[in-house]
């Protein structure tokens, strides 16, 4: 048995096991329903026969040509998930590899994904969006400190793991707010001590890349169009700041209830991304006026056309909206915020 050790002291060694065929796994695990299907593999439910522990197993077929994006994807996923651990990144328990396939045994996230949750609730209250984005921002900050760029951050790649033991101040189970401005409370009306009844887990690292040096720029056009940063759709070089834009799109979607675009075709969507201006959108969007100034300021710094002017993940995590403290990051000056929101000018 070979083992890959992590570059991070907090991460454990991930067992890496060579097998002849899938039949060997069936001696130890019982496979169940399909949990999902992605561009680079399918995910199945698996039960370890010895103790009944459940896993989500991602099966990826190994392509012969490593130069193709599919051929690289399973290697990318293994490389990142075997070397890095974080509370908000899906954990890998073991990796099994046969001649033609690779099996990632990952922790089971039983709450669906953020896209499902948003569809169920139609819109997140700021408090709920905040506790969700804190977790995503923490995962991204960790990845970027370790020179890993995700490149496919989106609602569907944010899994949710329920916390059945989470309790409010009176011992009742917490609930999520369904309407904007409705606070999470316990039965006595006191603020809930656990506003998030789930842990957010970032997943799907098939398009991720680990930079050789911190200031390395990238050039390949990858990712999901609606979440791609302007520099990617413009076919310009880009850095880890592309993930920050995607984080902004997720934040916008949660607090507004939809993506910020109205295009029906991919070509029109690309044009809309190239011309996107959050300040201009806010001027004609009723939902914007119902958000806090701190929330609008954070979005205005995440959704900036220029990657140089866009916040880093650490600046986002230090912002007044995330910390709920005044004077965070750069948005303390309201005039600077307004200049940033209208940087590209009204058209």
Transcribe 268-335 into DSSP letters. HHHHHHHT--HHHHHHT-HHHHTS-HHHHHHHHHHS-SSTTTSPPHHHHHTSHHHH--TT-TTTTSHH
Residue 136, in any domain of the structure = yes
Whole-number pLDDT of residue 213: 81
Binding residues for ATP: 63
Same domain, 265 and 172: yes
End position of a domain, from candidates 86, 107, 128? 107
Q: Which whole-number Å values give the CA distances from 137 to 35, 84, 315, in the listed order?
A: 26, 16, 10
pLDDT band per the 50, 70, 90 thresholds, residue 175: very low
Helix (H, G, I), strand (E, B) or coil at 20: coil
Same domain, 152 and 265: yes
Same domain, 311 and 189: yes
Same domain, 67 and 172: no
Residue 296, in any domain of the structure = yes
Quick one: average pLDDT of 170-178? 43
Residue 164, in any domain of the structure = yes
Same domain, 56 and 132: no
Residue-wise pLDDT for 195-250, tens only, equals: 688 999 999 999 999 998 877 889 999 999 999 999 999 999 999 999 999 999 99
Residue-wise pLDDT for 274-303, tens only, equals: 999 999 999 888 889 999 999 999 999 999
End position of a domain, from candidates 45, 77, 107? 107
Residue 331, in any domain of the structure = yes
Residue 319, in any domain of the structure = yes
Residues with catalytic annotation?
152
- Quick check: 321 pLDDT over 50? yes
Residue 346, in any domain of the structure = no
CATH number at residue 83: 3.30.200.20
- Quick check: 17 pLDDT over 80? yes
Same domain, 231 and 287: yes
Residue 347, in any domain of the structure = no
Phi and psi for 87 in degrees, rounded to 5? -55, -25
End position of a domain, from candidates 47, 74, 107? 107
Same domain, 77 and 213: no
Residue-wise pLDDT for 144-170, tens only, equals: 999 999 999 999 999 999 987 654 434
H or E element in which residue 45 lies: strand 41-48
- What total number of domains does the chain contain? 2
CATH number at residue 226: 1.10.510.10
Residues 4, 83 contacting (CB under 8 angstroms): yes
Structure tokens at 331: 């948005």
Same domain, 57 and 125: no
Torsion angle defined by CA atoms of residues 227, 233, 237 and 239, in that order, rounded to the nearest 10 degrees:
-10
Residues 104, 92 contacting (CB under 8 angstroms): yes
- Distance, in Å, from the CA atom of 56 to the CA atom of 81, rounded to the nearest integer, reads 14
Same domain, 88 and 131: no
pTM of the model: 0.83
Residues 182, 125 contacting (CB under 8 angstroms): yes
Same domain, 102 and 159: no
Phi and psi for 94 in degrees, rounded to 5? -165, 155
Instruction: Tell me which residue range forms the domain holding 277.
Output: 114-341
pLDDT band per the 50, 70, 90 thresholds, residue 191: very low
Same domain, 159 and 85: no
Same domain, 131 and 232: yes
Whole-number pLDDT of residue 340: 52
- Distance, in Å, from the CA atom of 317 to the CA atom of 336, rounded to the nearest integer, reads 19
């Amino acid at each position: 048995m070979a083992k890959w050790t992590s570059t991070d002291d907090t991460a454990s060694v991930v067992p890496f096991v060579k097998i002849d065929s899938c039949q060997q796994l069936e001696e130890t695990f019982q496979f169940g329903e399909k949990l999902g299907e992605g561009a680079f593999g399918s995910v199945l439910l698996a039960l370890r026969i010895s103790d009944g522990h459940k896993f989500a197993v991602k099966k990826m077929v190994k392509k012969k040509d490593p130069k193709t994006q599919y051929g690289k994807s399973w290697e990318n996923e293994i490389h990142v998930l075997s070397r890095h651990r974080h509370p908000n990144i899906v954990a890998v328990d073991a990796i099994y590899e046969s001649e033609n396939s690779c099996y990632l045994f990952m922790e089971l996230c039983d709450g669906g994904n953020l896209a499902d949750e948003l569809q169920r609730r139609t819109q997140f209250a700021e408090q709920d969006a905040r506790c969700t984005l804190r977790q995503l921002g923490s995962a991204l900050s960790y990845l970027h400190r370790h020179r890993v760029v995700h490149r496919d951050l989106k609602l569907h790649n944010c899994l949710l793991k329920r916390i059945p033991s989470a309790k409010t101040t009176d011992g009742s189970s917490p609930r999520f707010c369904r309407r904007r401005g409705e606070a999470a409370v316990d039965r006595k009306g006191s603020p809930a001590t656990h506003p998030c009844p789930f842990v957010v887990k970032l997943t799907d690292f098939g398009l991720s890349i680990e930079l050789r040096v911190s200031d390395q720029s990238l050039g390949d056009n990858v990712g999901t169009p609606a979440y791609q940063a302007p520099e990617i759709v413009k076919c310009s070089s880009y850095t880890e700041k592309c993930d920050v834009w995607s984080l902004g799109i997720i934040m916008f979607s949660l607090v507004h209830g939809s993506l910020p675009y109205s295009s029906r075709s991919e070509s029109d969507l690309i044009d809309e991304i190239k011309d996107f201006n959050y300040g201009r959108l806010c001027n004609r969007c009723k939902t914007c006026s119902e958000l806090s100034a701190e929330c609008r300021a954070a979005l205005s710094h995440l959704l900036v056309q220029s990657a140089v002017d866009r916040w880093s993940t650490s600046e986002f995590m230090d912002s007044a909206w995330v910390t709920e403290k005044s004077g965070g990051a750069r948005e303390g000056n309201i005039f600077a915020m307004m200049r940033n929101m209208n940087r590209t000018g009204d058209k």
